[in-house]
Copies of this chain bind each other. A is one copy, B any other.
Amino acid sequence: MKTRIQELRKKHKISQEELALTVGVTRQTITSLENEKYVASLVLAYKIAKYFHLRIEDVFDFSDVEVEGL
């Protein structure tokens, strides 16, 4: 799952640690998400999107996700 987390974070000039603190996870979680080690949970995805004043779909790239029959 590709994400714009790193891009958005740098645009806002905040560290992984600061983002981690405000969304309530550890720094390692943010690192892992940025490096695509795993996919964020729904709630975490929401919190991160909210932090950047965006919608989930604007932060996470679902273009590789298929839904059978559209």
A interface residues, Cβ below 8 angstroms from B: 1, 21-24, 39-43, 45-47, 50-51, 55-57, 60, 62, 65, 67-70
Contacts and interface: CB of A to CB of B under 8 A. Distances in A.
Nearest to A45: B42
A46 B62 contact: yes
Contact of A41 (B22, B39, B46): B39
How many copies of this chain are found per oligomer?
2
Contacts of A43: 1, 39, 62, 65
Contacts of A40: 42
A62 to B, nearest CB: 5
Contact of A57 (B22, B56, B68, B69): B56
